[in-house]
């Protein structure tokens, strides 16, 4: 065992003495040492219940014959960080968390890991860490929160809280109703209720085989989740005994399986960043071309909140990820039958999977033959941009509008709140990319306000920043090159015409190249102003088309 490096032989007497100080018995000194990396936090709704799951995992590890050690990593709530400078720290925290897990696991020569996670950047960070460290690992995602309810109206964090602001400002609801929705939209611990980034990444973790069946969708406050946590603790000891490592599971085939499932379900656009970063950590050749290639082949047969009214709770009851996997194995030749941490092939796990056709369609009878996500190219985005096709009304697949440019999210919000955005406008938010932000802030506030004001099908928004998984409407993000690197998005002026064509997967600025050349001559070079963590991040981060890795 790897932990022999800290516990075997006369020379390790001081090491054993220090381990005994933590409570390790002489008998358990010979057991596999299993780390539980926990992102527990009183600040993050998705993570407030992790103390209980830590306990269940610890019980499982000791039941399986291992010795458990819990250590902490940070967590950021994207919803609380949204709309202010705090959001600049969200994406950078992904690499910080991966560094924390790698540091503790390798410094103490742990034999295996259970990575306890839930929210947007924490789960991909755990997967990145697993690929880097490559000791037997299971991910436990803590699960979605319960659906909100008020006056017999089903609520989610997006439609009950964020979009309610636009409705209030539009005069559709009273302040009293707004406050009722505020209190009722997030009724429990857990990741927000729709197929936003947190739940998208939980689902893709299960698809890849890095968590046990049903882990992604079992509610955070359920006894089922507690049982899955316990079983994960037992199973990690077996994985250590069989030396089944993450890089046996995270392969080109399993990452492409994740992309296929993502397209079939219409997950968050942030998954593009995270899958590319996981591939980089694992040394696997997966890039935007894989997304583009598969996006032309995959039907969307699952449609969840925010592009539908079906929540994660209903998805779980309808069969969840097992039902999706069964359909993909049956109908998509590119989808591979692989073995994950359950130590069984997907086909064996899902052979008796239940499927409620009212929620999860059969693959050959999809919601649409178009994928949930797409890559757009053009003179604004020669290196690519992303759009959540499933969240766009089909009447808007071809949209041409007039640019209104803003050099920050705050400037765009002021224009939206001041009713300066009208039908036919294309909001351009730039200098919000990985380098320019820095930190590539999510922009749920402007997109939610756009929808809340009734402009979701009448105006568009494009940015070198990114969106929440809860975003809907004609919203294009991850534009590369970003403005801070001199991308064309930095050259757009008010009044320019912009054309978005989802059918052709194009994003173009309708301005002559000679005019753009003149504008480029007058473009001032971007300078990094931040110090500390964000300054370091801005100086080392890659572009979004390569996963915004550092």
Tokens of 489: 């998005």
List the one residue out of 405, 387, 409, 544 whose CA is nearest residue 481: 544
Start-to-end C-alpha separation, the chain: 31
CB atoms within 10 A of CB 290: 18
Report the C-alpha gap between 197 and 116 in whole angstroms. 16
Report the C-alpha gap between 46 and 225 in whole angstroms. 13
Alpha-helical (H) ranges within 283-408 are 288-295, 312-317, 320-331, 346-350
Contact partners, residue 13, CB within 8 Å, separation at least 6: none
Structural contact between residues 368 and 300, judged by C-beta atoms closer than 8 angstroms = yes
Tokens of 87: 């959001």
Contact partners, residue 190, CB within 8 Å, separation at least 6: 45, 46, 49, 118, 142, 143, 144, 145, 146, 219, 220, 221
Q: What is the DSSP string of 180-200?
A: HHHHHS--SSSB-SSSSHHHH
List the one residue out of 495, 500, 508, 449 whose CA is nearest residue 474: 500
Structural contact between residues 115 and 138, judged by C-beta atoms closer than 8 angstroms = yes
Provide the β-strand partners of residue 400.
499
Q: Which candidate in 395, 468, 542, 545 is catalytic?
A: 468
Provide the β-strand partners of residue 69.
35
Structural contact between residues 293 and 299, judged by C-beta atoms closer than 8 angstroms = no
- 268 counts as catalytic: no
Q: Which residues are catalytic?
A: 468
């Amino acid at each position: 065992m790897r932990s022999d490096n800290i516990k075997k032989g006369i020379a390790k007497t001081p090491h054993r003495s220090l381990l005994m100080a933590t409570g390790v018995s002489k008998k358990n000194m010979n057991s596999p040492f299993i780390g539980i990396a926990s992102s527990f936090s009183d600040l993050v709704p998705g993570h407030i219940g992790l103390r209980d799951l830590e306990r269940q995992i610890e019980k499982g590890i000791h039941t399986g014959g291992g010795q458990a050690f819990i250590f902490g990593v940070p967590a950021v709530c994207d919803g609380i960080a949204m709309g202010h400078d705090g959001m600049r720290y969200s994406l950078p925290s992904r690499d910080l968390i991966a560094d924390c897990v790698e540091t503790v696991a390798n410094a103490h020569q742990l034999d295996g890991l259970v990575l306890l996670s839930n929210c947007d950047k924490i789960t991909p960070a755990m997967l990145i860490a697993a690929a880097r460290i490559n000791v037997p690992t299971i991910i436990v995602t803590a699960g979605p929160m319960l659906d909100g309810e008020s006056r017999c109206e089903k609520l989610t964090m997006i439609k009950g809280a964020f979009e309610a602001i636009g409705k209030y400002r539009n005069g559709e609801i009273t302040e009293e109703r707004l406050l009722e929705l505020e209190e009722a939209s997030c009724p429990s611990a857990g990741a927000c209720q729709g197929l936003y980034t947190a739940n998208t990444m939980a689902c893709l973790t299960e698809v890849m085989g890095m968590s046990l069946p049903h882990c992604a969708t079992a509610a955070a406050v359920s006894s089922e989740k507690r049982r899955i946590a316990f079983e994960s603790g037992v199973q990690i000891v077996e994985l250590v005994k069989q030396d089944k490592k993450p890089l046996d599971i995270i392969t080109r085939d399993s990452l492409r399986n994740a992309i296929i499932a993502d397209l079939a379900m219409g997950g968050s656009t942030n998954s593009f960043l995270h899958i590319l970063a996981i591939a980089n950590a694992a040394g696997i050749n997966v890039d935007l071309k894989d997304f583009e290639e598969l996006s032309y082949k995959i039907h969307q047969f699952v449609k969840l909140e925010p592009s539908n009214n079906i929540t994660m709770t209903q998805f779980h009851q309808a069969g969840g990820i097992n039902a999706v996997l069964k359909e993909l194995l049956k109908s998509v030749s590119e989808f591979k039958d692989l073995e994950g941490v359950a130590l069984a092939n997907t086909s064996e796990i899902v052979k008796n999977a239940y499927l409620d056709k009212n929620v999860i369609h059969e693959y050959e009878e999809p919601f649409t033959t178009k994928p949930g996500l797409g890559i757009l190219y053009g003179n604004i985005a020669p290196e690519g941009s992303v759009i959540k096709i499933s969240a766009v009304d089909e009447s808007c697949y071809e949209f041409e509008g007039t640019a209104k440019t803003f050099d920050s999210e705050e400037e765009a919000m002021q224009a939206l709140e001041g009713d300066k955005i009208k039908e036919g406008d294309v909001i351009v938010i730039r200098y919000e990319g990985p380098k320019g932000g820095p930190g590539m802030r999510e922009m749920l506030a402007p997109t939610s306000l756009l929808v809340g004001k009734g402009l979701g099908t009448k105006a568009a928004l494009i940015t070198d920043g990114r969106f929440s998984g809860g975003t809907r409407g004609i919203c294009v993000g991850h534009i590369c090159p970003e403005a801070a690197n001199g991308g064309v998005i930095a050259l757009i002026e008010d009044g320019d015409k912009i054309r978005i064509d989802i059918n052709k997967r194009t994003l173009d600025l309708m301005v002559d190249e000679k005019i753009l050349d003149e504008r480029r001559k007058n473009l001032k070079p971007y300078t990094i102003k931040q110090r500390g963590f964000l300054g370091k991040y801005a100086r080392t981060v890659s572009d979004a088309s390569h996963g915004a890795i550092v």
